[in-house]
Chains A and B, each alone.
Chain A
Amino acid sequence: MNRVLADIAVTSMLDACLVAAQALVLNSLGIPFAAITAFSGIGAYAVALALGGSWIGLAFAALLTAVTLAGFSFLAPLLPQDRYLLLTLAVLGVLLATAGSAAGLGGQLGLKSASTLLPPQEPLPFAVAAVLLFSMSLLAHALIGRSEFGLAVSVARNSRLDITAKSFIPVKRITLVCFVIAASIAMLAGVLRATYSGRVDPNQLRIRTAIVILMPTLAAGSSPLRIGILSVVFFAFPDCFAVLFGYDATSLAYIREMAWSALIIAMVPGNVIARLRTRIKVQMAAQTRY
């Protein structure tokens, strides 16, 4: 039982790291980015290639990461938001097809990524590593929220609407830095996941997976506490509920996706929660005035 719960903790925490990394770009920087799994996939394949002794593959993964990062951060201010979101998903589709067709990456079967240093399916060391990585990603959010860089990030977020923001801060450089931080977290999560499962396959680059990760990212906002709680609950709920109460985990995952997508449908029009909060503040101000 404890082993199963530890396994759930590791996988949910690693998925939650992806949410935290994506929230850095999507919510803090305001760039409609939905392909964080591209970086975790690259990280996973890179570690599998490194464990297999293919250093050329590792260098190619580093080059691919650099090109993808540069492309995403360069195109972010230039394309309309909806087109950019579609572009990120399209890049994911191309990576999926490449991973599935390249013989050097094992095709549809993938590659073995078991390490002798950290044996796969041993939850304890991976749980510690996952907790550390997740804490680091939340710490990054907290630091960005409280630092001068965070102020620059919020100005960069507004630069799409207010062009004068560009004369105060280096928007392109800030965008690139945020992308690098997010990609590093995602790649580390990918490395841990690959070594934990002992195998890497193209399925983690599926667009469907990216869209499932997009749901909690949109709902989580940029507060570290909210990201921490919501993302872990999102990923741990079906398996935990299934283990504790014996309900089918797949059905619970469907119910979870229905509930969260309904939440997103309700929240999109102008952020219902923010609107409610403003209304409450206005009412409280009116009451104190009288």
Chain B
Amino acid sequence: MSLETVAGGLIGAAYLVPLSIAFSIAASHGKYLPLWIPYTGLLGAYLAYAMSETRGVPAMWALIVAAILSAAFAIVANYALFRGHINRGEPYAALLRAVAITVFIEAALGWATHGYALSYRHMKLGGSTYIPKIGDTLTSADLLAILSAIILAPALALLLRWTWAGLAFRSVASNRNLAREYGLPVLWIDTMALAFCGSLSAVGAIMFGMKYDLSPQMLAEPTMKVAAIVVALGAEWPERVTAGILMIGILEAVTQSSPSFAPFASAIGYVLLILALIMRYAVSLRLRRLQT
């Protein structure tokens, strides 16, 4: 395991950090697996492409507008399609709807672009630095992704643990009815949480598109990987989810460095998910036996 491999894996995984944080916040808030949240970001990424590449809108404005519209989409979709499931505690029905939304968005974008991949030109950040120690060239987008991985998770952990807003969010996520009875503005907290998730997904998807180009299916595998880590480590801990994503990135890079096992790299997240589910079942069974 060389330093180059580890660094490559970490940089690749850092691009998934905004998406995984958005996913874990939405999962913790709604108590289901919101597979559709990264796809709001995908919509934002395509919107940013349309604005900056075909209409000539400055990159920063395109990014801001995409983030705002993704947030709006997330709020509306949550209010119209998922609120009932969240209130009634129906994670399976919510998951089915989430899957249907991902299929719809993928198909709509595939139809609009004839399934071809698109590449950012105006939105791509300029500048790159060669780092001899890791034997790789870091682009500005790479640095931005690394910075976001370093800053976002600890900042969010602090926000959730040590501020009133974090306490209110945790209360609503834990028991909505009780939070409402205690006078917490549940609807306002829902809106804020989803706006945060939608805009962060848009930023994450745009960054991901800068690295790997835009395609309708580009977030299918990362979404499953993030879902696997959220199930394995718990949605209530975004910092753990971030650490998990980075660890999986390193593991994938190490696996990919061996030619005979390279295609198996994509299965690491799935294996983790299967193990986590079976272990959780075993733990709950043991607890039940101890209780009886």
Chain A positions within 8 Å of B, measured between CB atoms, are 32, 75, 78-83, 85-87, 89-91, 93-94, 96-98, 100-101, 103, 107-108, 207-208, 211-212, 214-215, 218, 250-251, 254-255, 257-258, 260-262, 264-265, 268-269
Q: A81 near B92 (CB under 8 angstroms)?
A: yes
Q: B96 near A258 (CB under 8 angstroms)?
A: no
Please tell me which stretch of B5-13, B103-111, B171-179 contacts chain A, meaning at least 4 of its Cβ atoms lie within 8 angstroms of it. B103-111
**The 10 A-B residue pairs with the shortest CB-CB distance in the complex, in nearest-first order:** A97-B267, A81-B92, A254-B111, A93-B270, A257-B107, A100-B263, A264-B100, A101-B263, A261-B104, A90-B270
Q: B104 near A214 (CB under 8 angstroms)?
A: no
* CB contact between A94 and one of B114, B231, B274, B277 (< 8 Å): that residue: B274
B206 in contact (CB, < 8 A) = no
Q: A98 near B267 (CB under 8 angstroms)?
A: yes
Contacts of B285 in A (CB 8 A): 78
What are 21 of the A-B contact pairs (CB < 8 Å)?
Answer: A32-B92, A78-B285, A82-B33, A82-B95, A85-B92, A96-B267, A97-B264, A97-B267, A98-B264, A208-B220, A211-B103, A218-B96, A250-B115, A254-B107, A254-B115, A257-B104, A257-B107, A264-B97, A265-B97, A265-B101, A269-B84
User: For chain B residues 31-73, which have a beta carbon within 8 Å of chain A?
Assistant: 32-33
B234 in contact (CB, < 8 A) = no
User: What are the interface flags for B160-172 relative to A under an 8 Å C-beta threshold, 1 for contact and 0 otherwise?
Assistant: 0000000000000
- C-alpha spacing A68/B224, complex, angstroms: 20
* CB contact between B274 and one of A78, A80, A90, A211 (< 8 Å): that residue: A90
Q: B111 near A251 (CB under 8 angstroms)?
A: yes
- C-alpha spacing A93/B274, complex, angstroms: 11
Contacts of B231 in A (CB 8 A): 83, 86
> Which residue of the partner chain A has the closest CB to B266?
A97
- C-alpha spacing A53/B266, complex, angstroms: 30
